[in-house]
């Protein structure tokens, strides 16, 4: 069926509601828009669905959500009666259509005889991960597009361990979904009937309490916060999302007294009207928080994204300018703080483990060596961190998971959840900031101390957006060029080795033997350069982008900045 036939089928289907049909009629004279909406089905990738909200097979709407959920139902049924009886937990954020998509998912589950535990209002993604484990569900669903623009929404599926579906499971679900007709192959039941039959069950406060207790258990030291009292000041913005209640609660539980909330960004707003993008990586979103800090100084300023799985931090540098900490910088600060605190209180073992992705900073290696703990690299995506935590437990070869983190502002301490958690990160960052303050230092000064000790590691990235059908082909061509004919050097640094993750091999360019790469297959290339530098390239799994990641190490921040800029500039020329 071509895109025009698919468009006509949606218009004529008795299943499709009149509002959707009206939207489709409004584009009847725009062939390129019809093609974009119907040339393919919205892809259920390794993390689930994510796309622009709207009518069409390549959009987020109740029909694409129902189809995905029907596929998940078939997967659950294939696992047996115990999986069916265990049910599915469902959470959602503040975005347009989030509650509607969550409810439609619950109705499809109920129609297939599977209990849906539906949260009574918006909740963070990590709490959904916790709820799956706490309720012993067979699966989980969260409706969110994380920090994407307001036009987007998404659907993420979780396994019984509380982690995002791993590639093997996700591939199986995809194979099921591909066989399901979007209209005729989906079962749906009325909400009232489902609730009457006990197939849709509301959950809320009891899960909140258990979740926060588990987050609190990851605290490493509250003494500095208690010692400072009102003299420790925090400014927090939830960016209109789900972090507002749990973050405030956990900060209160560890004794933070002087907490100020950015009122303009406190309440849910699906349009994210005070920010260009609800992304805590971007300094622009902190404008209101910075104004508050100028009026009354703060020791810590941070924000969480709409589904509260990512956290961003800003602080003052020596010149008095507010600067954004990168995800890598917060990751190494947190890792060193947790390791140091555990060593001081005698709880650090030689079986401790840190997990990072292959595009995350290399600065963690010398830090881990100092504390005699292990570092494990996994593919990009927090689901791989969750998978490795499960592997640790199943095989009992590490008895202390310490911290998992990725460059894209995601962190997890503890095993109560299997996805990144801005709530636990907020708690630990607050403890860390207070700890540094008792030593007479800001977070920025703490970072400089680490640089002076381990080297000035600096990371950066470049993304190229290539939309539409042509964009997909262009991304493939770029990946092929870097795979078959990569640059021999970058910014004067020789390329020593190339990790071809798809082929599972480390190819050597310095005369040493090639080696096997022990990672799952993925379309990722990583290059090791001289002087502990590196870069990597991969297509985005959720957006029409190709992403480049860079890391350098020099003996001063200025030199690291210059070398990083040179690396990015040379790749830009190639592109």
Q: What values do phi and psi take at 283, rounded to 5?
A: -60, -30
Catalytic-residue membership of 408? no
CB-facing half-sphere around the CA of 199: CA atoms within 13 A: 22
Report which of 407, 376, 411, 372 is spatially closest to residue 391, judged by C-alpha positions.
376
In angstroms, rounded to a whole number, what is the distance separating the alpha carbons of residues 520 and 518? Answer: 7
Residue identified by tokens 């199943």 is 394
Residues in the chain: 575
How far apart are the C-alpha atoms of 198 and 220, rounded to whole Å?
41
Is 147 in contact with 277 (CB distance < 8 Å)?
yes
**Alpha helices, DSSP H, located in 439-467:** 443-454
- Determine which one of 98, 146, 170, 522 is catalytic: 146
Distance CA 414, CA 214 (A): 8
Helix (H, G, I), strand (E, B) or coil at 253: helix
Q: Which two tokens stand for residue 68?
A: 């995905």
CA of 564: how far to CAs of 353, 490, 551, 557, in Å? 29, 10, 7, 10
Reference 90, options 144, 46, 43; nearest CA is 144
- CA neighbor of 218 nearest in space, from 86, 116, 130, 97: 130
* Cβ atoms of 58 and 42 closer than 8 Å: yes
Residue written as token pair 């799985």: 309
In this structure, the number of other CB atoms found within 10 A of the CB of residue 366 comes to 16
179 DSSP assignment: T
Decide: 372 and 381 in contact? Cβ < 8 Å: no
Q: Which secondary structure element, helix H or strand E, spans residue 88, and what is its range?
A: strand 88-92
Residue linked to tokens 């999302």: 241
Residues tagged active-site: 146
């Amino acid at each position: 069926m071509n895109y025009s036939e698919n468009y006509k089928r949606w218009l004529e289907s008795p299943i499709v509601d009149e509002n959707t049909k009206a939207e489709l009629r409004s584009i009847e004279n725009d062939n390129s828009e019809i093609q974009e909406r119907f040339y393919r089905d919205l892809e259920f990738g390794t993390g689930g669905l994510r796309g622009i909200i709207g009518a069409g097979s390549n959009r987020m709407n109740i029909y694409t959500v129902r189809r995905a959920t029907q596929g998940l139902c078939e997967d659950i049924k294939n696992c047996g009666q115990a999986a069916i009886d265990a049910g599915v937990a469902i959470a959602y954020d503040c975005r347009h259509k989030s509650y509607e998509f969550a409810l439609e998912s619950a109705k499809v589950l109920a129609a297939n005889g599977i209990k849906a535990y539906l949260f009574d209002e918006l909740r963070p993604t990590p709490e959904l991960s916790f709820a799956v484990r706490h309720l012993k569900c067979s699966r989980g669903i969260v409706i969110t597009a994380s920090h994407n623009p307001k036009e987007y929404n998404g659907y993420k599926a979780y396994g019984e361990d509380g982690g995002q579906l791993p590639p093997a499971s996700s591939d199986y679900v995809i194979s099921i979904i591909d066989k399901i007709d979007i209209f005729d192959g989906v079962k749906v039941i009325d909400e009232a009937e489902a609730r009457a039959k006990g197939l849709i069950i509301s959950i809320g406060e009891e899960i909140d309490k258990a979740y926060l207790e588990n987050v609190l258990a990851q605290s490493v030291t509250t003494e500095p916060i208690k010692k400072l009292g009102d003299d420790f000041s925090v400014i927090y913005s939830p960016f209109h999302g789900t972090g507002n209640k749990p973050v405030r609660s956990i900060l209160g539980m560890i004794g933070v007294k002087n907490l100020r909330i950015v009122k303009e960004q406190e309440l849910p707003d699906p349009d994210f009207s005070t920010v260009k993008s609800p992304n805590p990586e971007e300094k622009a979103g902190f404008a209101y928080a910075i104004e508050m800090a100028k009026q009354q100084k703060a020791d810590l300023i941070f924000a969480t994204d709409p589904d509260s799985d990512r956290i961003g931090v800003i602080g003052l540098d020596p010149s008095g300018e507010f600067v954004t900490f990168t995800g890598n910088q917060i990751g190494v600060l947190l890792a060193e703080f947790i390791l140091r605190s555990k060593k001081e209180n005698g709880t650090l073992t030689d079986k401790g483990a840190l997990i990072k992705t292959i595009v995350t900073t290399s600065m963690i290696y010398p830090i881990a060596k100092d504390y005699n703990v292990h570092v494990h690299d996994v593919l990009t995506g927090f689901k791989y961190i969750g998978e490795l935590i499960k592997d640790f437990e199943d095989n009992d070869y590490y008895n202390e998971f310490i911290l998992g983190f990725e460059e894209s502002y995601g962190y997890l301490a503890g095993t109560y959840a299997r996805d990144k958690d801005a709530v636990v990160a907020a708690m630990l960052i607050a403890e860390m900031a207070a700890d540094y303050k008792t030593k007479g230092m800001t977070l920025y000064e703490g970072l400089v101390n680490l640089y002076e000790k381990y080297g000035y590691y600096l990371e950066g990235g470049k993304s190229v957006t290539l939309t539409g059908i042509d964009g997909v082909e262009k991304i493939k061509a770029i990946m092929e060029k870097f795979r078959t004919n990569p640059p021999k050097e970058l910014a004067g640094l020789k390329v020593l080795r190339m990790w071809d993750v798809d082929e599972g091999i480390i190819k050597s360019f310095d005369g040493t033997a090639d080696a096997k790469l022990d990672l799952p297959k993925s379309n990722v290339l990583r290059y090791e350069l001289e002087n502990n530098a590196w870069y990597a390239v991969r297509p985005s799994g959720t957006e029409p982008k190709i992403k480049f990641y860079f890391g350098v190490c020099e003996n001063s921040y200025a030199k690291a900045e210059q070398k990083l800029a040179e690396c990015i500039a040379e790749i830009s020329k190639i592109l």
